[in-house]
């Protein structure tokens, strides 16, 4: 459970820590970033987890998302995990940007050889937060929210929907909202999972149909100039429609942002809205 500090960087009055630890779920050393706002010097602060997309490490969100701006104002710690195990030496691990390294999809693989370390669901829901709470006692383990981008937006939706009550809120940028029905998701699920019957358990559009955890309030931003939206990799309307079938249509707020693309310029532009959305739930009693 020990962590090593590789760097401490001042950011918006708080500090961004670059950290590593040996993770048993992923079978390798994992890097992650943790932002501690200045309020953490005096009191317990809640935690917001940001899940990155394909090709990302914990650095993309920390360096380009501008989430620390609002997090510092509100007094929220932000955790930026990696998106997959690294260097497991599995054949084909680094052959493509959308499978293997940098593309763990926040699921636990059941298919060999990926099941040896591609356990990003267990890593993000259990091992990493437990490590953080053990090592940073100023973080309140009872107040945790989650959000993410693209593959990570989908990860945030599924982790929230699979674990009612575990996260206080969820939001997403350009999530891959119905992976069973798009090329990125079909490649990942057929590669990581043994059987197609397992896919629905990891697909946010299927999960929201079965949601019984009370009224939803999910914020989703999608840019109208997002090439992956136009290539039908994201399918946010399918998620909205599935939520509506379960009487939760009003609980999914999709904002189509005119002219914005799939890049971190979009995350940075709407960062205050997403951190603000989390803050409303992290500080409500």
Ligand X SMILES: N[C@@H](CCC(=O)N[C@@H](CSC=O)C(=O)NCC(=O)O)C(=O)O
Give the strand order in the sheet containing 45-51.
4-11, 14-23, 28-36, 77-81, 45-51, 139-149, 170-173, 218-223, 252-257
Selecting among 84, 145, 150, 171, the annotated active-site residue is 150
DSSP 180: G
Q: Decide if 171 is catalytic.
A: no
Q: How far is the CB of 18 from ligand X (least distance, A)?
A: 17
Cα–Cα nearest to 25, from 98, 126, 100? 126
Q: How far is the CB of 138 from ligand X (least distance, A)?
A: 29
Q: Decide if 150 is catalytic.
A: yes
Q: How far is the CB of 260 from ligand X (least distance, A)?
A: 13
Cα angle for residues 176, 90, 49 (degrees, 5° grid): 40
- Residues near ligand X (CB under 6 A) are 53-56, 60, 97, 149-151, 262-264
Cα–Cα nearest to 64, from 77, 74, 49, 50? 50
Residue 49, SS3 per DSSP: strand
The smaller minimum CB distance to ligand X, of residues 64 and 116, is found at: 64
The smaller minimum CB distance to ligand X, of residues 37 and 53, is found at: 53
Q: Decide if 226 is catalytic.
A: yes
Q: How far is the CB of 96 from ligand X (least distance, A)?
A: 9
Q: Which residue(s) pair with 21 in the sheet? A: 30
The smaller minimum CB distance to ligand X, of residues 64 and 253, is found at: 64
Selecting among 98, 108, 203, 226, the annotated active-site residue is 226
Selecting among 21, 154, 202, 262, the annotated active-site residue is 262
The length of the chain is 285
The smaller minimum CB distance to ligand X, of residues 97 and 256, is found at: 97
Hey, which residues are catalytic here? 150, 226, 262
């Amino acid at each position: 459970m020990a962590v090593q500090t590789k760097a401490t960087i001042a950011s918006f009055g708080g500090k961004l820590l670059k950290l590593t630890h040996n993770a048993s779920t992923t079978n390798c050393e994992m890097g992650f970033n943790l932002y501690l706002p200045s309020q953490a010097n005096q009191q317990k602060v809640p935690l917001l987890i940001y899940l990155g997309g394909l090709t990302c490490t914990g650095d993309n969100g920390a360096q380009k998302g501008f989430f620390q701006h609002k997090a510092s104002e509100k007094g929220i710690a932000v955790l930026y995990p990696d998106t997959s195990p690294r260097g497991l030496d599995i054949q084909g691990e680094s052959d493509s940007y959308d499978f293997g390294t940098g593309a763990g999809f926040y699921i636990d693989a059941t298919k060999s050889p990926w099941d040896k370390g591609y356990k990003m669901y267990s890593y993000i829901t259990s091992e990493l937060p437990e490590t953080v709470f053990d090592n940073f006692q100023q973080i309140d383990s009872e107040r945790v929210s989650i959000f993410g981008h693209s593959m990570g937006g989908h990860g945030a939706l599924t982790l929230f929907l699979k674990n009612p009550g575990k996260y206080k809120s969820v939001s997403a940028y350009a999530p891959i909202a119905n992976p069973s029905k798009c090329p990125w998701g079909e490649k990942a699920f057929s590669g990581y999972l043994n059987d197609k019957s397992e896919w629905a358990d990891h697909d946010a559009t299927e999960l929201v149909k079965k949601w019984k955890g009370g009224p939803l309030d999910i914020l989703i931003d999608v840019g109208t100039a997002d090439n992956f939206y136009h290539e039908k990799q994201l399918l946010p309307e399918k998620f909205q429609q599935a939520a509506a079938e379960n009487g939760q249509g009003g609980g999914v707020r999709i904002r189509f942002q005119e002219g914005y693309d799939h890049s971190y310029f979009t995350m940075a532009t709407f960062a205050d809205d997403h951190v603000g959305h989390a803050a409303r739930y992290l500080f409500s009693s």
